[in-house]
């Protein structure tokens, strides 16, 4: 009982999922597809969490092909690789969306599903998709990939922060789990037909036939497709963040609570990313040559924060502040800052790690620590919830058996439908 206190366990039985999806694509296209077609492909004995894990396996396969064909994130891949990324991500989205329907269908809804889905799978998938997208766009190892990770991590963090305070998972007209994933699927598929990720390095305006003239600044005219995409992502990020903050403050005011104090919950994310940016600025060797393991480390920092928020939401506990995984980053920044200060102002301290092999080893040590901490968190919490609620994680321990009256009511409803 490390992450869930004994006196908070009874709150797990009070949990009820609450979600609002304003997406028109989800309402009129995806949900009918899921309800009328996809859900019938899964047997009643299949546990919802097993569906989630199966969907995640497609993304893992995508990532393995990335490591084989484009580990530096700046090379063109065979067309079938991009198509496989599109198919794999779409299957992940489908399986991730259908697990809730399967939970209601098999009467297995509960707090474990939200934890397993968001803290266990979605949080890791966010990091993997950042790397896959960067490889698709040939962003390479640099600040563009870091900015992509920042936007994805912030979207996920703010969405979970909003759910903690409003007690409702709210997806706007444009959201990452719906339009964001579909956009990535389209980008992957289009890349396959365009001959590779190098296409996205070309000027968008020039590619669509617009000639350069005095009315268009050179910086704007030369803006590449991937840079326009990042501008679009930034606009959506700002809009969703402001919407989430407004929803949180409105919800707290409705309950008679102080509204602005909730914004302090964003400081953990801000502190982590100040450290991430500072460390990469001070260590260009990591930024340009060993960014993939560092992206994993940064992603796990965010995943651990999100997981603790979800547990606090499920057990109605105090909002978690701080993150133990930031401590190695603090050391890394301080160690790297000393030589820079000596160089510029003459006062500083020598670096214990230097700028070569020991710095790379430090990043891998941080990654190992993050895997251990977040892994122990997920295992301990799943074990605790399963033990307390007397359920299993990946299989259905007590299959639902409808009583005679329910069966008769279903048969009567089906006959009435046929009669109409």
Could you report the per-residue pLDDT of 240-291, keeping only the tens digit for each? 899 999 999 999 999 998 888 899 999 999 999 999 999 999 999 999 999 9
Distance CA 91, CA 55 (A): 6
| Structure tokens given for 223 | 């803006």
Per-residue three-class SS string for 358-389: HHHHHHHHHHHHHHHHHHHHHHHHHHHHHHHH
Distance CA 37, CA 157 (A): 32
Distance CA 379, CA 376 (A): 5
Could you report the per-residue pLDDT of 48-59, keeping only the tens digit for each? 999 999 999 999
Determine contact, residues 279/329, Cβ cutoff 8 Å. Answer: yes
Determine what percent of the chain is predicted with pLDDT higher than 90: 57
Has residue 420 got a pLDDT over 60? no
Could you report the per-residue pLDDT of 320-351, keeping only the tens digit for each? 988 999 999 999 999 999 999 988 888 889 99
Could you report the per-residue pLDDT of 184-236, keeping only the tens digit for each? 999 999 999 988 889 999 888 888 888 877 778 888 888 898 898 889 889 88
Exactly one of 22, 40, 107, 118 is catalytic; which is it? 118
How is the chain split among helix, strand and coil, in percent rounded to 5?
75, 0, 25
Distance CA 208, CA 222 (A): 12
Distance CA 411, CA 378 (A): 42
For every residue of 315-335, DSSP letters joined together read HT-PPP---TTHHHHHHHHHH
pLDDT at residue 236, rounded to an integer: 85
Is 22 an annotated catalytic residue? no
CA proximity to 53, closest of 8, 83, 98, 85? 98
Burial classification of residue 143, based on how many CB atoms lie within 10 Å of its CB (0-12 exposed, 13-18 middle, 19 or more buried): middle
Has residue 406 got a pLDDT over 70? no
Q: DSSP letter at 224?
A: B
Q: Please compute, for residue 266, the number of CA atoms within 13 A of its CA located in the half-sphere on the CB side.
A: 16
Compute the average pLDDT of residues 127-151. Answer: 94
Domains of the chain, start order: 6-418 (1.20.120.1760)
Has residue 416 got a pLDDT over 70? no
Dihedrals φ, ψ of 396, to 5°?
-90, 115
Q: Please compute, for residue 26, the number of CA atoms within 13 A of its CA located in the half-sphere on the CB side.
A: 20
Has residue 417 got a pLDDT over 80? no
Under the banding of pLDDT at 50, 70 and 90, the label for residue 409 is low
For every residue of 10-24, DSSP letters joined together read GGGGG----EEE--H
Burial classification of residue 394, based on how many CB atoms lie within 10 Å of its CB (0-12 exposed, 13-18 middle, 19 or more buried): middle
Has residue 405 got a pLDDT over 80? no
pTM of structure: 0.91
Determine contact, residues 150/130, Cβ cutoff 8 Å. Answer: no
């Amino acid at each position: 009982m490390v992450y869930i206190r004994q006196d908070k366990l009874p709150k797990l039985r009070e949990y009820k999922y609450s979600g609002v999806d304003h997406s028109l694509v989800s309402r009129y296209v995806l949900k009918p597809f899921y309800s009328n077609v996809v859900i019938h492909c899964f047997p009643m004995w299949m546990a919802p969490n097993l569906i989630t894990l199966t969907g995640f396996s497609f993304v893992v396969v995508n990532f393995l092909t990335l490591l084989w064909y484009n580990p530096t994130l700046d090379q063109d891949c065979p067309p079938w690789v991009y198509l496989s990324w599109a198919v794999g991500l779409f299957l992940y989205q489908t399986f991730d969306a259908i697990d809730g329907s399967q939970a209601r269908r098999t009467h297995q809804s509960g707090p474990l599903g939200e934890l397993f889905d968001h803290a266990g799978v979605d949080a890791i998938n966010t990091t993997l998709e950042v790397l896959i997208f960067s490889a698709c766009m040939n962003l390479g190892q640099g600040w563009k990939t870091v900015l992509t990770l920042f936007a994805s991590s912030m979207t996920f963090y703010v969405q979970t922060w909003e759910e903690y305070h409003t007690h409702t998972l709210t997806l706007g007209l444009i959201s990452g789990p719906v339009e964001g994933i579909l956009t990535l699927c389209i980008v992957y598929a289009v890349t396959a037909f365009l001959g590779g990720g190098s296409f996205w390095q070309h000027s968008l305006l020039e590619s669509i036939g617009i000639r350069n003239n005095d009315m268009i600044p050179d910086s704007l005219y030369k803006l590449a497709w991937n840079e326009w995409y990042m501008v679009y992502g930034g606009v959506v990020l700002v809009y969703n963040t402001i919407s989430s903050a407004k929803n949180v403050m409105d919800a707290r005011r409705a309950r008679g609570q102080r509204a602005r104090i909730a914004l302090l919950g964003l400081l953990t994310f801000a502190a982590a990313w100040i450290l991430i940016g500072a460390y990469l600025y001070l260590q260009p060797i990591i930024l340009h040559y060993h960014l993939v393991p560092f992206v994993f480390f940064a992603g796990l920092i965010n995943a651990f924060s999100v997981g603790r928020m979800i547990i606090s939401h499920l057990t109605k506990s105090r909002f978690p502040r701080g993150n133990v995984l930031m401590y190695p980053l603090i050391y890394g920044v301080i160690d790297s800052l000393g030589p820079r200060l000596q160089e510029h102002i003459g006062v500083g301290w020598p670096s214990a790690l230097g700028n070569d092999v020991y710095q790379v080893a430090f990043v891998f040590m941080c990654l190992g620590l993050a895997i251990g901490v977040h892994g122990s968190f997920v295992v301990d919490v799943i074990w605790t919830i399963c033990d307390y609620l007397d359920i299993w994680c990946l299989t259905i321990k007590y299959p639902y058996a409808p009583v005679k009256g329910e069966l008769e009511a279903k048969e009567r409803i089906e006959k009435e439908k046929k009669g109409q």
